[in-house]
Amino acid sequence: RPRVLSGIQPTAGSFHLGNYLGAVRNWVALQETHDAFYMVVDLHAITVPQDPAELRANTRLAAAQLLAAGLDPEHCTLFVQSHVPEHAQLAWVMNCLTGFGEASRMTQFKDKSAKQGADRTTVGLFTYPVLQVADILLYQADAVPVGEDQRQHVELTRDLAERFNGRYDKGGTATFTVPKPYIVRETAKIYDLQDPTVKMSKSASSPKGLVNLLDEPKTSAKKFRSAVTDTDTVIRFDEAAKPGVSNLLTIYATLTGTAIPALEERYEGKGYGALKTDLAEAFVEWVTPFRERTQAYLDDPETLDAVLASGADKARTVAAETLATVYERMGFVPAK
């Protein structure tokens, strides 16, 4: 089976609809066809300040949401990044292979650090993409299921894998699998409901544009009903001319498993109001059991922690083998 690996940050508490449609939903599908490794990336979270109690709660909450979304510990390996020390160890090695200029070109870093200002930006945030490189390479992943905003980090991973392979391979066996991004075009970028030209994200300028899965469903329904569209009335998928309507169609189509042309047909001659009301309803129908399942996992922390412990065991076996090869090839004296 080909292998996939991906991760999600625990920082925001609730996942938002972009996380789910752009990534987590695909993780659930891929666990059936791939050898799948998924993790909650707490080491990545601390690149910005975290309250310890909140970080601990949000890490478990993230795992609970992943299980509620359909990850099955019998079909995938679900773990917490800090439980596998090899991530930090390989990240150091990769830091030493990464050019300063190369890291400086990472657009997510440039955006985030520009917002925070130099004094509040940590060195950890700067090397964050290199930790992500280590995450992926440790598992020899063939593919990395993510949204569009992570593409550049997967490209960096490919570059560093090839660099290491080129420098350190002996006898032609590559140390690392060179991974490909796995990005589903239709849902690669879910947009803000109030500003459909920017991606939905937890740092949205208006909370009305961001749909959090764990919010009261009534609150989210209202956000769908007041989503920004345009002054036209025609319901047609056209991302350039009608970004708001197209975003709503993408969300509706994906949540209900309907093709977009079928939706265009269904809403012919009807106004935006009908589409928004129906989408709000479909979302509430989907999210209500999701919230209940999340709560059920939270109510049983022993089971949740046991799932994560067994995931960490499985992950470590793979990660330790890769790291041992890397150390040996770099010329470190083996610890007897």
Q: Which residues are at the interface with ligand TYM (CB under 6 A)?
A: 5-9, 18-19, 22-23, 41, 44, 132, 135-136, 144, 146-147, 149-150, 188-190, 199-201
| 180 catalytically annotated | no
Tell me if 278 is assigned to a ligand binding site: no
Smaller CB separation from ligand TYM, 200 or 308: 200
Is 202 a known ligand-binding residue? yes
- Please confirm, yes or no, whether 336 is among the known catalytic residues: no
- Chain position whose Cβ is nearest to ligand TYM: 22
Beta carbon nearer to ligand TYM, 51 or 302:
51
Q: Are 34 and 3 in contact (CB under 8 A)?
A: yes
Residue 19 marked in a binding site: yes
**Residue 330 annotated as part of some ligand binding site:** no
Task: Classify residue 257 as exposed, middle or buried by CB count within 10 Å of its CB (0-12, 13-18, 19+).
Answer: exposed
Q: Nearest 5°: CA angle at 120, between 55 and 151?
A: 70
Smallest gap from Cβ 184 to ligand TYM, in A, equals 9
Tally of CB atoms within 10 A around 179: 22
User: Known binder of ligand: residue 311?
Assistant: no
Q: Is 149 annotated as a binding residue?
A: yes
Cβ 99 vs Cβ 280: under 8 Å: no
CB 45 within 8 A of CB 9: yes
Q: What are the tokens at 53?
A: 């109690």
How, if at all, do strands 35-40 and 77-80 pair?
parallel
Task: Count the neighbouring beta carbons within 10 Å of the beta carbon of residue 293.
Answer: 16
Choose, from 115, 180, 199, 270, the residue flagged as catalytic. 199
Catalytic residue among 170, 180, 202, 270: 202
Structure tokens at 300: 């049983």
CB of 42 to ligand TYM, least distance (A): 10
Least distance in Å: CB of 81 to ligand TYM?
Answer: 7
Tell the smallest beta-carbon distance from residue 154 to ligand TYM (Å). Answer: 7
Is residue 235 annotated as involved in ligand binding?
no
Phi, psi of 181 (to 5 degrees): -70, 145
Active-site residue, selected from the candidate residues 112, 180, 208, 314: 112
Alpha-carbon distance of 267 to 269, in angstroms, equals 6
In whole angstroms, how close is the CB of 77 to ligand TYM at the nearest point? 14
> Which lies closer to ligand TYM via its Cβ, residue 181 or residue 267?
181
Taking alpha carbons only, the member of 293, 125, 283, 72 closest to residue 190 is 283
The residue among 20 and 272 lying less far from ligand TYM, judged by its C-beta, is 20
Closer residue to ligand TYM (CB): 135 or 278: 135
Rounded to 10 deg, the angle between the 123-138 and 151-168 helix axes is 70
Terminal C-alpha separation, the chain = 34
In whole angstroms, what is the distance from residue 13 CA to residue 143 CA? 26
Rounded least distance, CB 240 to ligand TYM, Å? 18
Q: Which of 48, 42, 88 is nearest to 62 (CA)?
A: 42
Q: Give whichever of 76 and 144 is closer to ligand TYM, judged by the CB atom.
A: 144
User: Is-catalytic flag, 112?
Assistant: yes
- Point out the annotated binding site for ATP: 9-11, 18-19, 147-149, 190, 199-203
Residues designated catalytic: 112, 199, 202
- Point out the annotated binding site for L-tryptophan: 135
